[in-house]
Amino acid sequence: MVVTLIGFRGAGKSSVAPRLAARLGWDWIDADAELTRRLGRSIPDIFAREGEAAFRRYEADLLAELCSRDRLVIAAGGGAVLNAETRRRAQAAGPVVWLRASIETIWSRIGHDLGVGGGRPALTSLDPRAEVELLLTQREPLYAEAASIVVETDDRSVDDLVRTIADQLPIPPEMTA
């Protein structure tokens, strides 16, 4: 069984994953960091040189592999749910947790990192704020469709989120440390 954390950029997936994994006694992996490590290139570099479609293929292949592992918490990239096969695989592999955040929360966490010179590649030609608004509107139905557990993250600490998620996970006690 694996637990997959989904949600928009800035929702807290990468902060929650290691702490949730520690609580379960499982491994964890951040899909973006793992792709960066395997390809030896940063995410903005992959987008710049090969384009978003290539990045999405790498991402889907990696998640297919990770979903076949056991006792693993995955922090998926914010756009991973765009791929229907990835959504299906994650659902089949175990609980899928949507870390839901409002536009204000997302903007306050990652706004500085978007746009020219930011560490996160542009996903549209819109200005960063309009991009977040558009993509959030487009993706919320996909996060909702994929998720078996939804957790509101606004104004909540990582500790609080981990406790809330762990309490809702349908994991038999013998699978946790």
Residues near ligand S3P (CB under 6 A): 9, 13-14, 32, 43, 77-79, 120-121, 123
* Beta carbons within 8 Å of 173's beta carbon, 6+ residues apart: none
CB–CB of 17/73 below 8 Å? yes
The least CB distance from residue 14 to ligand S3P, in Å, is 6
User: From the CB of 33, what's the least distance to ligand S3P, in Å?
Assistant: 9
CB of 63 to ligand S3P, least distance (A): 11
The span from the CA of 5 to the CA of 14, in Å, is 9
In angstroms, what is the minimal distance from the CB of 175 to ligand S3P?
A: 26
Q: Which is nearer to ligand S3P, 25 or 115 (CB)?
A: 115
Cα distances (Å, whole numbers) of residue 64 to 61, 74, 100, 159: 5, 11, 23, 29
Give backbone dihedrals phi and psi of 68, rounded to 5 degrees, phi first: -90, 0
Can you tell me the distance from the alpha carbon of 132 to that of 124, in angstroms, rounded to the nearest whole number? 9
Q: Which is nearer to ligand S3P, 116 or 177 (CB)?
A: 116
Closer to ligand S3P at the Cβ: 34 or 171?
34
Q: Judged by CB, which is closer to ligand S3P: 39, or 175?
A: 39
| Residue with Cβ nearer ligand S3P (77 or 128) | 77
Q: Which helix (H) or strand (E) holds 60?
A: helix 43-67
Angstrom distance (rounded) from CA 158 to CA 76: 17
Pair 2, 69: CB distance under 8 Å: yes
- In the complex, least distance from residue 12 CB atom to ligand S3P, rounded to whole angstroms: 10
